[in-house]
Amino acid sequence: MPEKKPAIKAPEFRIIRGSDCNDAMMQSAYKHFSKNRTVPWSYTSFKGSLSNTTSALMVGANHDYHTVLGMIIINPIILSSSECFDAEADAKADSNLDSLLIDSAELEDIWVVSSYRRQGLAKTLLEWGIHELCALQCPVLHLEVNADNHAAIKLYERFGFVNVGRRKNYYDDGKGNKSDAFLYSLNL
Ligand SMILES: CC(C)(COP(=O)(O)OP(=O)(O)OC[C@H]1O[C@@H](n2cnc3c(N)ncnc32)[C@H](O)[C@@H]1OP(=O)(O)O)[C@@H](O)C(=O)NCCC(=O)NCCS
């Protein structure tokens, strides 16, 4: 009988919703986040986006919150109260996200620490984000991605995101190299 291959052990992790992250977790995530960006974000902007209920960190299951394995940052675009034309919706507009009308959402970033890649972590994070957006009745998720980022493009296309446009020379790596951005959308 052929010898059975041992299954690859899935990494143990937990997803912590952005709104439940404390400052130490935010700081740790910000360190990772800043390393990978050509256009820097201030800590305040990062914290604002990660604090969304639709953003999350993936950490080791051993509760070591400093071991950030990945993150997903989704910014919901909320209809302004003047666009709602609904007094009841207006009244609810400053309560919590659950009661707001979400027009669309933008996947700002998804990232997995390099030594944990190709083990399904980004897939798990994106499934989580999509589930949260569906619960908020968000109709569509948009994103932009560097046209050279084949790993990310594969991931998005696997989820059914559709390429809806291209921005020429959108990214600049700071060393004079420019690359295009692809725009993708997923109807939820
Ligand atoms: C893109 C990224 C988030 C993927 O994370 P990951 O945890 O390795 O992805 P997963 O293991 O969940 O992969 C899910 C699917 O995506 C696709 N995929 C992911 N990485 C891939 C790669 N290097 N090459 C080809 N396909 C890839 C595959 O279809 C994969 O499914 P499979 O493993 O069953 O073939 C990760 O490479 C990363 O952090 N890159 C740097 C940050 C970044 O570019 N973020 C995107 C910003 S727009």
| pLDDT attached to residue 161 | 98
Both 57 and 130 in one domain: the answer is yes
Active site annotation includes 108? no
Q: What is the pLDDT of residues 65-102, one digit of tens each?
A: 667 889 999 999 887 544 444 545 544 444 455 556 88
Query: Would you call 65 helix, strand, or coil by DSSP?
Result: coil
To the query of whether residue 132 is one of the catalytic residues in this protein, the response is no
Which of the residues 30, 108, 144, 184 is marked catalytic? 144
State the Cα–Cα distance between residues 166 and 171, nearest whole angstrom. Answer: 12
Query: Is residue 180 one of the residues assigned to a domain?
Result: yes
Q: Which residues line ligand 1 (CB under 6 A)?
A: 36, 109-112, 117-123, 145, 149-152, 154-155, 158
Last residue of a domain, one of 97, 115, 138: 138
In-domain check, residue 161: yes
Residue 7 domain flag: no
The residue type at 186? L
| Residue 185 and residue 108 in one domain | no
Look at residue 5 and tell me if it is in a domain. Answer: no
Do 50 and 120 reside in the same domain of the chain?
Answer: yes
Q: 26 phi and psi, to 5 degrees?
A: -60, -45
Domain that holds residue 40: 13-138
Q: How many domains does the chain have?
A: 2
Out of 156, 157, 171, 184, which one is annotated catalytic?
156
Q: Cα 183 vs. chain centroid, distance in angstroms? A: 15
What does the pLDDT look like over 160-169, one tens digit per residue?
999 999 999 9
pLDDT at res. 2: 54
pTM of the model: 0.86
Residue minimizing CA distance to atom 28 of ligand 1:
155
The letter for the amino acid at 123 is K
With bands split at pLDDT 50, 70 and 90, how would you rate the model's confidence at 173?
confident
Residue 72 and residue 112 in contact, taking contact as beta carbons nearer than 8 Å:
no
Q: 120 with 59, same domain?
A: yes
